[in-house]
Amino acid sequence: MMEEKLSKKHLEQLKQLCNEAGIKLTHQRLEIFCELIAHPGHPSAEMIHKRIHKKLPTIAIDTVYRTLATFDELGLIKKLHVMNERTLFDTNLDIHHHFICTRCKKVNDIYWSDFDNTTLPETIENMGKVESRHLEIHGICNSCLDKT
């Protein structure tokens, strides 16, 4: 059963958040959540749809997009808007940043507490209240460098 794949903690968190938001925990939402937990990282909606489609052949890509948007609103995942690329989804809710390979498009997590704790320039503080910081570093990963 798919619920057995989830830890009790994850399942209870999902049930509680859905209940608080007044949304039904459907079979499709549960399958998408299971897929996110089973394969953490930075998947696209298309990638998740492709994997889920094997189990649920009638699931529409629109259902996956809407479910991922709902999970983002509930705080279960974060939506990444990688520059000039498709939207990716991040299951890692810890404070972190991303290194994005410009060749293979792989996204790696970066933990950088010095950056997180630096004092922001006055020009930014004068713009308004900063609620979060996210840094994207674009470059070529070692794997791609080794291939050249």
* Residue 18 assigned to a binding site: no
Measured CA angle at 42 (ends 100, 141), to 5 deg = 25
Return the closest-CA partner of residue 59 out of 70, 46, 69.
Answer: 46
- Classify burial at 125, counting beta carbons within 10 Å of its beta carbon; exposed 0-12, middle 13-18, buried 19 or more: exposed
Is residue 141 a known part of a binding site?
Answer: yes
**Residue 64: Cβ-neighbour burial (10 angstroms; 0-12, 13-18, 19+):** buried
How many residues are recorded in the chain? Answer: 148
144 carries a ligand binding annotation = yes
Is 101 within any annotated ligand binding site? Answer: yes
Known binding-site positions:
101, 104, 141, 144
Known binding-site positions for Zn(2+):
101, 104, 141, 144
